[in-house]
Amino acid sequence: MNTLTCHSLLTQYPQAWKEATIHPFLQQCQQGTISPQQFNTWLVQDYLFVVDFTRFVARVLAVAPVEHFDVILGGLNALKNELIWFEAKAKERHLNLQITKQVTCQEYCNYMREINQMSYPVQAMALWAIELAYNQAWQLPGQMTSPYNEFADRWGNAEFTEYVKYLEKQADEALHKSSETLTGQVESVFLQVAGLERAFWQMAFNAF
């Protein structure tokens, strides 16, 4: 039995989580001052990220207990729509999605493959952390104006928030049943995810 929970990770590492979810990129979206170059860089790189994230979630499903299928399958269904939505947003902006990943995006995608080699409790926690990062990041700046409100709503809406709560519950269940010996690895993955989230915002912000 392990006493580690998702909530305890957030309280143990508040600074890392703050840096993952609060960034000038998002504040400038809220103020409407982000440059098209910065925003479009985020859009295309995040599309490429989401393609690999979908593969990540599919691999988490493959090792999840059957009781956890409903929530993860719901997530995969939402990702199906999200990919179509990203393609539509890119088309509106005349952006080419057939480009190569920037280093930070590639590093994050590589890291998800590494997480997929770890045990289910670690993967379930990582899935929760990755989704919570966007759920909070897009909500924290406050109401955004067009066109950014559409992006903020995608990850900040009530249904997505509910989905993230279910992911937390499932991760907590899996962690609870795991050995104390897993604690160091869980903490390390949480901190890596937080650092990669921060780096991803910075990557887009740097694209002047």
Report the catalytic residues: 197
3-state secondary structure of 43: helix
Q: Quick check: 39 binds ligand HMH (CB under 6 A)?
A: no
Q: Pick the binder of ligand HMH from 189, 200, 203, 204 (CB under 6 A).
A: 200
152-157-161 Cα angle (round to 5): 115
Position 61: which residue type?
A: L
Least distance between ligand HMH and beta carbon 181 (Å):
28
Q: Does 46 bind ligand HMH (CB under 6 A)?
A: yes
Would you say 13 or 85 has its CB closer to ligand HMH?
A: 85
Question: Which residue among 25, 39, 128, 134 contacts ligand HMH (CB under 6 A)?
Answer: 134
Determine whether the annotation assigns residue 82 to a binding site: yes
Comparison of 120 and 128: residue with beta carbon closer to ligand HMH: 128
> Does 168 interact with ligand HMH (rule: CB under 6 A)?
no
- What residues numbered 94-133 form the site for ligand HMH, per CB under 6 A? 130-131, 133
Q: Does residue 65 have a cis bond before it (omega within 30 degrees)?
A: no
- Residue 62 is which amino acid? A
Contact 68, 124 (CB under 8 A): yes
Q: Is 42 in the site for ligand HMH (CB under 6 A)?
A: no
Tokens for 68? 């956890």
State in angstroms the smallest separation of the CB of 119 from ligand HMH: 22
Q: Tell me how far apart the alpha carbons of residues 190 and 187 are, in angstroms, rounded to a whole number.
A: 5
Angle of helix 183-205 relative to helix 36-63, nearest 10 degrees?
A: 160
Does 172 bind ligand HMH (CB under 6 A)? Our answer is no
Tokens of 20: 């993952």
Q: Who contacts 65 (Cβ-Cβ below 8 Å, separation ≥6)?
A: 120, 174
Binding-site residue set: 46, 82, 131
Q: Which residues bind ligand HMH (CB under 6 A)?
A: 46, 49-50, 130-131, 133-134, 197, 200
